[in-house]
Amino acid sequence: MNKILEKEHFSEKVVKLVVDAPMIAKSRKAGHFVIVRCGEHGERIPLTIADADPVAGTITLVVQAVGDSTTKICALEPGDYLTDVVGPLGKATHIDNYGTVVCCGGGVGVAPLLPIVKAMKAAGNKVVTVLAARTKELVILEEQVAPHSDEVIIMTDDGSYGTKGLVTDGVEAVINREKVDLVVTIGPAVMMKFVSLMTKKYDVPTMCSLNTIMVDGTGMCGACRVTVGGKTRFVCIDGPEFDAHQVDFDEMMMRLRSYN
């Protein structure tokens, strides 16, 4: 049982939860995720860790209500408990001084992007962060990424905030203007697919973080399998981060619809 200490609404369907989880807060690194369960009959849901405070013993999760289980989690209030939180799972992001790194995120994908932005900046990179959303109200974590980014570019589909256009337009503009050594992309599968297709054109190495269906999250079930470079890999233990240019996004999107 893990207590919820703080809650903040980013938008109608997206909430930030600060959860008591001292051991995870201590051992997690950028890129790691947790599996949470809400209720005795609850599903196991993978969520990437957006932030952690090892001193306070807390982790921060950003959850979007998309199905029954995430809706239930989003309805929890401070003082309520998550039935189970296990982690940190997956491989940590490979952080290095690459030079210039463009970190682009869409929707709640911005949440797992935050620790990577922080770590990349701390490693000495020039970090350009591109945040994309459908409309102004859905842009999240801008204030949190800003102190760790050399530049923040906002893209909205409807032009209500920042520049009108897709995330790919924002990233492509940076690539056209300066040498980019690495692109990190996290967001909906279709977004990552098009970021990857675009960066491939320019031959810029690109890393994505995948959020597939999982049950145990420790390599046991294989529900999360994806094809990377023609080989079947498990997102939970081989990932969640992969070379985006090698990922079969179409197959991944198909598999995400298994239970729709």
Partner 1 sequence: MKKNDMTSAPRDSQWREELRKSKTAKERASIPRVKMPELDPAYRVTCNEEVNQGISAEQAVLEASRCMDCPDPQCVTGCPVGINIPGFIKNIERGDFHSAAVVLKETSALPAVCGRVCPQEKQCESRCVYHKMKKQPVAIGYLERFAADRERSSGEKVTPSVAPANGKKVAVVGSGPAGLSFAGDMIKRGYEVTVYEALHEIGGVLKYGIPEFRLPNSVVDDEIETLSGLGVKFEKDCVIGKTLSYDDIIAMGYDGLFVASGAGLPRFMNIPGENLIGVMSSNEYLTRVNLMGAGRSGGETPVLTGRRVAVIGGGNTAMDSVRTARRMGAEVAMIVYRRGEAEMPARAEEVKHAKEEGVVFMNLCNPVEYRGDEKGRVNMMLVQRMELGEPDESGRRSPVPIPGAVDEIPVDLVIVSVGVSPNPLIPNSVGGLEVSKRGTIVVDDVTMRSSLAPLYAGGDIVRGGATVILAMGDGRRAAAAMDEALCG
Asked if 154 contacts 177 with a C-beta cutoff of 8 angstroms, the reply is no
My answer on whether omega of the bond before 205 falls inside 30° of 0, hence cis, is no
Q: Which stretch binds partner 1 (CB under 8 A): 35-43, 119-127, 177-185, 239-247?
A: 35-43
- Which of 3, 7, 13, 42: binder of partner 1 (CB under 8 A)? 42
Structure tokens belonging to residue 134: 């459908």
In whole angstroms, how far apart are CA 82 and each of 3, 12, 232, 255?
A: 6, 21, 32, 27
Beta carbon nearer to partner 1, 179 or 257? 257
Q: Does 88 sit near partner 1 (CB under 8 A)?
A: yes
Q: Which stretch binds partner 1 (CB under 8 A): 78-86, 149-157, 160-168, 189-197?
A: 78-86
Query: Can you say how many angstroms the Cα of residue 76 is from the centroid of all Cα atoms in its chain?
Result: 21
- For residue 254, the minimal CB distance to partner 1 (Å) is 4
End-to-end CA distance of the chain: 30
d(C-alpha 61, C-alpha 42), whole Å: 18
In whole angstroms, how far apart are CA 136 and each of 13, 47, 190?
A: 14, 24, 20
| DSSP annotation of 247 | B
- For residue 260, the minimal CB distance to partner 1 (Å) is 9
Beta carbon nearer to partner 1, 68 or 178? 68
Q: Does 87 sit near partner 1 (CB under 8 A)?
A: yes
- Which of 15, 19, 24, 191: binder of partner 1 (CB under 8 A)? 24
Q: Does 225 sit near partner 1 (CB under 8 A)?
A: yes
Asked if 255 contacts 227 with a C-beta cutoff of 8 angstroms, the reply is no
Q: Which stretch binds partner 1 (CB under 8 A): 46-54, 94-102, 154-162, 227-235?
A: 227-235
Q: Does 227 sit near partner 1 (CB under 8 A)?
A: yes
Q: Does 239 sit near partner 1 (CB under 8 A)?
A: no
d(C-alpha 74, C-alpha 66), whole Å: 10
Site for partner 1 in 163-222 (CB under 8 A): 215-216, 218-222
Beta carbon nearer to partner 1, 86 or 166? 86
- For residue 255, the minimal CB distance to partner 1 (Å) is 6
Q: Does 37 sit near partner 1 (CB under 8 A)?
A: yes
3-state secondary structure of 213: coil
Beta carbon nearer to partner 1, 51 or 172? 51
Structure tokens belonging to residue 99: 């030079």
d(C-alpha 228, C-alpha 53), whole Å: 33
Half-sphere exposure of 90 (CA within 13 A, CB side): 30
Residues that bind partner 1 in the complex, under the rule CB under 8 A? 23-24, 27, 37, 39, 41-44, 68-69, 83-89, 215-216, 218-223, 225-227, 232, 234, 237, 251, 254-255, 257-259
